[in-house]
Amino acid sequence: MRLPSSSSSVDLLPKIIMGVDPGTQIMGYAVIEVQGSRVQVICYDVIDMKKLGTNHALKLKKIFERMLELIDEYLPDELAIEAPFFGVNVQSMLKLGRAQGVAIAACLSRQIPYVEYAPTKVKQAVTGSGSASKEQVAKMLRQTLKLPPIEEAPKFLDATDALAVAMCHHYQKGNNVKAGTKSWDKFLTDNPDRMSSATGTKKAPAKAKAK
């Protein structure tokens, strides 16, 4: 496929993309170098915070410090990060949002721009299905990027999820204006009962919307 002439010269320049799959127990990260259509996987691994127990403040501190170490080591041009999944547990969502925010703040402190992608967007970009499993994402990445077998790859699938986020950003080729369209504001607007339950305010259950 021929690229637009206005972007051809830009695409020939090497670019380092860092992908992050936020988590409060395990946070996946990946770094790729892109030059034109060529993609080289530099690294993909995880930040393991299980040993920190339930101390959320220490986890956020570790995320920030480790992200700065990775940024200073690999010097990424851009950060691609997965948006928090809108699940049932509001407290877990808030903690995940903080973890994502700290990772973003680390990049912004080094003047690195970021783009947010919804989980379904990432899966769709890599596998063609927005409902693909972690295992399916990992399998497709191994085939596309000729990665080592799963037993030789990083232990946690969160690492391949982060690699998928980086690849999703690469596939956009700058057409990511609409990335991360789901925001906390939109979620709270659509689900006011979730926030009231999180703050301890009792509210009559909302009626199910007709599909």
82 in a known ligand binding site: yes
5-181 CATH pick, 3.30.565.10, 3.40.50.740, 3.30.420.10, 3.20.20.70: 3.30.420.10
Domain extents in the chain: 5-181
161 in a known ligand binding site: no
In this prediction, residue 207 carries a pLDDT of 39
In this prediction, residue 142 carries a pLDDT of 92
In this prediction, residue 44 carries a pLDDT of 95
Residues marked as catalytic = 21, 82, 158
Instruction: Give pLDDT tens digits for 103-128.
Output: 999 999 999 999 999 999 999 999 99
What's the predicted TM-score (pTM) here? Answer: 0.76
In this prediction, residue 63 carries a pLDDT of 98
190 in a known ligand binding site: no
In this prediction, residue 23 carries a pLDDT of 93
Q: Cβ distance 138 to 153 under 8 Å?
A: yes
Percent of the chain with pLDDT over 70: 73
Residuewise pLDDT in 10s, the chain (211 residues): 333 434 445 567 899 999 999 999 999 999 999 998 899 999 999 999 999 999 999 999 999 999 999 999 999 999 999 998 766 678 888 899 999 999 999 999 999 999 999 999 999 999 999 999 999 999 999 999 998 876 666 667 999 999 999 999 999 975 544 433 334 444 445 545 544 443 343 333 333 333 3
In this prediction, residue 151 carries a pLDDT of 67
